[in-house]
Amino acid sequence: MYTQGLVSIEGAGGAEEERFQARVDAEERIEPNDRMPEAYRRTLLRQISQHAHSEIVGMLPEGNWITRAPSLKRKAALLAKVQDEGGHGLYLYAAAETLGSSREEMVDALLEGRAKYSSIFNYPTRTWADIGAIGWLVDGAAIMNQIPLCRCSYGPYARAMIRICREESFHQRQGYEIMLTLCRGTEAQKAMAQDALDRWWWPCLMMFGPPDGESQHSDASARWKIKRFSNDGLRQKFIDATVPQAHYLGLAVPDPELRFDEASGHWHSGPIDWEEFRRVLAGGGVCNRDRLEARRRAHEEGAWVREAALAYAARQRRVAA
Amino acid sequence: MSATIPVAETPLVRFLLGRADDALILGHRLSEWTGHAPILEEELALANIGLDLIGQARALYAFAAEAEGAGHDEDDYAYLRDEGQFRNLLIAERPRGDFADTMVRQALYAIYAEMFWQAASQSTQRELAGFAAKAAKEMAYHVRHAGTWVVRLGDGTAESHARAQAALDRIAPYLDEMFDAEDPSLAGIVPDVPALRPGWDGAVRALLEEAKLSLPDVPFPQRGGRAGRHGETLGHLLATFQHLHRSHPGATW
């Protein structure tokens, strides 16, 4: 669903790196067997695997409502949506594997707390309206971040992102439609929608990462055409697209400083609480512990199943040999 | 809270609700795995199978609504009936359990349901026959998927074998109920259910043999789901499933 630029990058130099940079500058796609700087490989591996982890952990907050969805149509749509996220995780792990890591290694890094996933999933889904808000806002922010990745210099990632973005756009429309239905419903439903917007708005703005001046990794990622737009630029684009959608729903955006600036043509928004961002990132969100424990439990409780499948497959191979 | 709806159950309505409830309740049980499956590929497969079943339930509730003619819709049946009005087989409501419980139940049910819908595709009621042909194809996929897992688990490691056998022992009392006859007035519309038993026995015997598992003797088969006499687990499932819908009477979602 979303990946945060938490990667560290070493400086590049030398004739070979210049040739690599020339290929990137010429918008050539870098493929798995091509030579690439070690820092480029590591940067991508970390970014793609974080993205995959985010898809997998992201199944939990929405999965929280599958058994309680308020109509059969919504239940089926939500189950299908969460299934899509699992599918995204699968292609992304496969894309990351082309960079020389295995899915097992990546999953271990997640479960041991060495790898990050998007912090947005450390917020709880308290009501059904959160399912609408996640589709509309979280997937909306993810799309803003991910559309440029469809042109990422690394071929397998770019191709995975094309398919993922198509599905995310569908999810976003579905989420907005949930919100619209709530906003045209009873007073209680509309209040539920407003409460969800109040809780998700600011965390969604944080999804674009720290302000440009404080972002440590953007330079090399931009040079390698992994990242094509700045955090603040994408955040502004998201705000400009989303505020009119909130108004159409009849909902108030929880930002007292929000106003349209005629001169720039952009919505001006108030300051983001970066303390909250850092706190949740560091493990202080409502659900950080629960998310990781749920993943660990599924992994541990599934160990005997995976062992059985391997043992059976090995035996079949021996019989065939 | 939304009030419970009364349903005018003719034999046909009751039959349709029974089959719809089987699919809904089992689909719900599969949806409980979301985010917690042992392998990522199984997240996708369990959701797929659950979606097929929920889709079947929705189509069957629509048939039931037409047959009842009381203006009810799929959500009325799913969300506004009480436990005693649910007509599902007991096998469908048994807890999710571990992965062996899920796959053993799924295989045994899917083998049955494929045969049932295959036979129902010859129904004199054309719409039902059309639905049944499609449902039989879905169930054939479920049979392959769950059947493969039963074999892997039964013939995998000592632990997986023990778990698969224990799952089979736990679910065995709920198998006979699947073959109870439907109301005789529905002959022609609905297949002869007891007649499916020998075919099912043969298919299950072959599967279990490959999986190195054995069906236990069942001194006391359990039945009563079709009559609304459920165990203790369905009430909890419905409390979760119906709570939000019932908390907002008349709301549209």
Enter the pTM of the model: 0.95
- Residue B15's pLDDT is 98
pLDDT, one tens digit for every residue, chain B (253 residues): 889 999 999 999 999 999 999 999 999 999 999 999 999 999 999 999 999 999 999 999 999 999 999 999 999 999 999 999 999 999 999 999 999 999 999 999 999 999 999 999 999 999 999 999 999 999 999 999 999 999 999 999 999 999 999 999 999 999 999 999 999 999 999 999 999 999 999 999 999 999 999 999 999 999 999 999 999 999 999 999 999 999 999 999 9
Comparing C-alpha atoms, which of B35, B116, B175 is closest to residue A59? B35
What residues of chain B lie within 8 A of the CB of A311, using their CB?
156-157, 160
Given an 8 Å threshold on Cβ–Cβ distance, is B75 in contact with A72? Answer: yes
Comparing C-alpha atoms, which of B180, B166, B251 is closest to residue B221? B180
Q: Which of residues 262-301 of A touch B (CB under 8 A)?
A: 294, 297-299, 301
A86 has a chain B CB within 8 A of its CB: yes
What are the residues whose beta carbons fall under 8 Å from the beta carbon of A294, sequence distance 6 or more?
Answer: A60, B35, B36
How far, in Å, CA of A5 to CA of A21, rounded?
20
Contact B232, B224 (CB under 8 A): no
Structure letter (DSSP) for residue B178 = G
Nearest to B163 among A298, A303, A304 (CB): A304
Q: Is the ipTM of this complex over 0.90?
A: yes
What are the residues whose beta carbons fall under 8 Å from the beta carbon of A164, sequence distance 6 or more?
Answer: A88, A91, A92, A146
How far, in Å, CA of B140 to CA of B121, rounded?
14
Give B148 to chain A, closest Cα distance, Å.
10
Residue with tokens 């709570």: B243
Given an 8 Å threshold on Cβ–Cβ distance, is B244 in contact with A128? Answer: yes
What residues of chain A lie within 8 A of the CB of B80, using their CB?
none
Give B151 to chain A, closest Cα distance, Å.
9
Q: What is the separation of C-alpha A259 from the centre of its chain, rounded to a whole number of angstroms?
A: 28
Which of A49, A57, A65, A72 would you mutate first to test chain B, the one with the most B CBs within 10 A? A72
Q: What is the pLDDT of residues A146-183, one digit of tens each?
A: 999 999 999 999 999 999 999 999 999 999 999 999 99
Tokens standing for B52? 């097929």
Nearest to B47 among A79, A103, A189 (CB): A79
Q: Which of residues 110-129 of B touch A (CB under 8 A)?
A: none
Backbone angles phi, psi at B187, to 5 degrees: -55, 135
B58 has a chain A CB within 8 A of its CB: yes
Q: Name the pairing type of β-strands A259-261 and A266-268.
A: antiparallel
Contact B16, B60 (CB under 8 A): yes
Tokens standing for A82? 């969460």
Closest-approach residue (CA) in chain A for B59? A72
Comparing C-alpha atoms, which of B120, B35, B196, B243 is closest to residue A78? B35
Closest-approach residue (CA) in chain B for A309? B152
Model confidence at A13, in pLDDT bands (50, 70, 90)?
low
What residues of chain A lie within 8 A of the CB of B31, using their CB?
66-67, 75, 79
- Residue A217's pLDDT is 63
Nearest to A181 among B61, B153, B253 (CB): B253
Comparing C-alpha atoms, which of A209, A259, A213 is closest to residue A239? A259
Domains of chain B: 11-247 (1.20.1260.10)
Q: What is the pLDDT of residues A85-143, one digit of tens each?
A: 999 999 999 999 999 999 999 999 999 999 999 999 999 999 999 999 999 999 999 99
Nearest to B39 among A186, A189, A302 (CB): A302
The SS3 call for residue A278 is: helix
How far, in Å, CA of A86 to CA of B43, rounded?
7
The SS3 call for residue A268 is: strand
State which H helix or E strand residue B179 sits in: none
Residue with tokens 């026995």: B201
- Residue A213's pLDDT is 81
Backbone angles phi, psi at B107, to 5 degrees: -65, -45
Closest-approach residue (CA) in chain A for B210? A312
Given an 8 Å threshold on Cβ–Cβ distance, is A186 in contact with B151? Answer: no
Given an 8 Å threshold on Cβ–Cβ distance, is A79 in contact with B54? Answer: yes
CA B168, B170, B176, B179 dihedral sign is negative
How far, in Å, CA of A138 to CA of A118, rounded?
11
Tokens standing for A252? 């108030």
State which H helix or E strand residue B14 sits in: helix B11-31
Q: What is the separation of C-alpha A303 from the centre of its chain, rounded to a whole number of angstroms?
A: 27
Nearest to A82 among B32, B47, B151 (CB): B47
Contact B120, B128 (CB under 8 A): yes
In sequence order, what are the beta bridge partners of A260?
Answer: A267
The SS3 call for residue B2 is: coil
- Residue A214's pLDDT is 80
Distances (CA, A) of A221 to A21, A37, A94: 12, 13, 21
- Residue B253's pLDDT is 96
Given an 8 Å threshold on Cβ–Cβ distance, is B55 in contact with A312? Answer: no
- Residue A2's pLDDT is 44
Q: Which of residues 170-229 of A touch B (CB under 8 A)?
A: 181, 185-186, 188-189
Q: What is the separation of C-alpha A110 from the centre of its chain, rounded to a whole number of angstroms?
A: 15
Is the predicted pLDDT of residue A7 greater than 70, yes or no?
no
Residue contacts between A and B (CB atoms, under 8 Å): 139
